[in-house]
Copies of this chain bind each other. A is one copy, B any other.
Amino acid sequence: MSSLSDKQIDLQLEELAGWQRDGNSIVKTYHFSDFIEAMSFMNQAAFYAEALEHHPEWRNIYNIVEVRLTNQDTGGVSSLDIRLAKRMEHIVQPKRL
């Protein structure tokens, strides 16, 4: 597992609506209808993160979930971060798949 190049990250972010680069991380703030929806999202993402053995840094306040993904082993954005971000998008937009 190695960090992606800036070019690779930019390319991936084009497919990840609302995700932005922030230093060595990619970040997105999700807004849900309420706390239950926010927690449901976190739980669905949590199962995938655990299976992937790659975990998010995230903050929740009522209906908001702020997600930060980075790879502490490589010190940058890795393909695991992209996979987890894509899965989070799948959770909030299941109809797209």
Contacts and interface: CB of A to CB of B under 8 A. Distances in A.
A74 interface: no
Contacts of A43: 39, 43
Interface string A24-61: 00000000000110010011001001100001111111
How many copies of this chain? 2
Interface residues of A, number: 16
A36 B43 CA distance: 10
Nearest to A39: B46
A43 B42 CA distance: 10
The 8 closest A-B pairs by CB, nearest first: A59-B59, A57-B61, A39-B46, A55-B62, A35-B55, A58-B60, A35-B50, A36-B50
